[in-house]
Amino acid sequence: MQFVTSDDRGMNSSLSDLLTEATKRSAHVRSTFKVISESDSFKELAEIAQQSNSFADMEEGGVSYLASWCVRVRQLDRTRFGKTLRSPLSREREATAGMTNLLQKFGGKVNLRNPDEMIYIFEGLTARKKFVLCRKLADGLENMSSIAPTTRKCVTSTPLRPSVAVSMANIAKLQKNFNVLDPYAGSCSTLLAAALVEPTCKTVGIERAHGGIVSFMKIQEDFAVRNFTSPSGLIRGDSRDIAVRNKAIEAISGEEFDAILTDPPYGIREKVDEGCPPPLVELFQSIIEDRERGKRLLRVGGRIIAFCPNRGEDDLMDKQSELPSKEQMDRAGIKLVAMMKQPMNESLSRFLVVFECIK
């Protein structure tokens, strides 16, 4: 078990709820727990929990009085970081017996398979005390593998890994009913991730490759078999074309997009259109065109999350070759807010860049 901790003194319920929701959509957090008490005995764990009323909601009169529950004990080997040992059943029986005064106040039934409330006791988590009593708040995205390329009907030659696509969706701060665009959609890895993270999103993809390479029918099937909301639009064409972008805007009833998520096909695009500007530069040119004709592509506060390559030894910030110029960003009303380097191998890397529309 690898873990980080956070001091939650003064944490109110709304902050706890935010932490829970953040965990549920995380690609890299397995579970989040609220620490209730620490002690060298199971009995004292329960006594401290009762004194702090940490399980009042599961006792008579509480909102979770009839919630099913179970107690799990997990032994951690601190000498081998990251190693979790499953505790013997006898240890869980011992823990349950030691905390009888607390557990007998719960109105719900024990459910070992799929309980409403998971109560964990970690043994060896800290050096201070032998046991730590916790309540599980939430699990991370367990079904992230459901959008893995190997499980999909439509897959291009270089699809995004699910964890990367989900991270892009989270960096975009997707919320309910957001409109999401990928102007270089490919097999729609970004849009599948958006639908997984926030099911109410309305997604639109633009792709210029012909149906033999990218099948819209298969993409629709990829959404359908996962019970995801179907894309509001899948448009065959070039995102540089005003008519194509108009179709994208029409697909969301003339609204503006809240987020643009994309992993442009750099090497392929340059081979097809020799001498053309980098995709991000072209995207900004399109945003400027739309602003100047009174048809915004991205709303104020909206974000662009995109990958771009590092083609040489120098950092991208030194070269600026793949990014729009300061003049373009000013005309587009967009600022660069973050840049993260992702090594691909010993000699190749790329950057995830984050832009935000400010006017």
Which pLDDT band, with edges at 50, 70 and 90, does 275 fall under?
A: low
Mean pLDDT confidence for 12-33: 83
Mean pLDDT confidence for 125-148: 89
Place of tokens 């392929």: 268
Q: At what angle do helices 216-224 and 189-197 cross, to 10 degrees?
A: 20
163 in the Ramachandran plot: left (φ > 0), alpha (ψ -120 to 50) or beta? alpha
Which pLDDT band, with edges at 50, 70 and 90, does 1 fall under?
A: very low
Amino acid 271: pLDDT:
47
How crowded is residue 188: how many other Cβ atoms within 10 Å of its Cβ? 30
pLDDT of 269 > 50? The answer is no
Instruction: Show contacts of 21-25: CB within 8 Å, 24+ apart.
Output: 21/138, 23/137, 23/138, 23/139, 23/140, 24/138, 24/139, 24/140, 24/141, 25/140, 25/141, 25/166, 25/169, 25/170, 25/197, 25/198
Mean predicted lDDT score pLDDT of the chain: 88
d(CA 357, CA 359): 6
Regarding predicted confidence, which is higher, 83 or 99? Answer: 99
Mean pLDDT confidence for 65-82: 80
d(CA 322, CA 349): 13
Amino acid 173: pLDDT:
94
Which pLDDT band, with edges at 50, 70 and 90, does 20 fall under?
A: confident
pLDDT of 338 > 50? The answer is yes
Q: Up-side HSE of residue 340: CA atoms within 13 Å toward CB?
A: 10
Mean pLDDT confidence for 235-263: 97
d(CA 145, CA 151): 8
pLDDT of 9 > 80? The answer is no
CA of residue 155 relative to chain centroid, distance = 21
Instruction: Show contacts of 93-98: CB within 8 Å, 24+ apart.
Output: 94/42, 95/42, 95/71, 95/121, 96/71, 97/42, 98/41, 98/42, 98/43, 98/45, 98/46
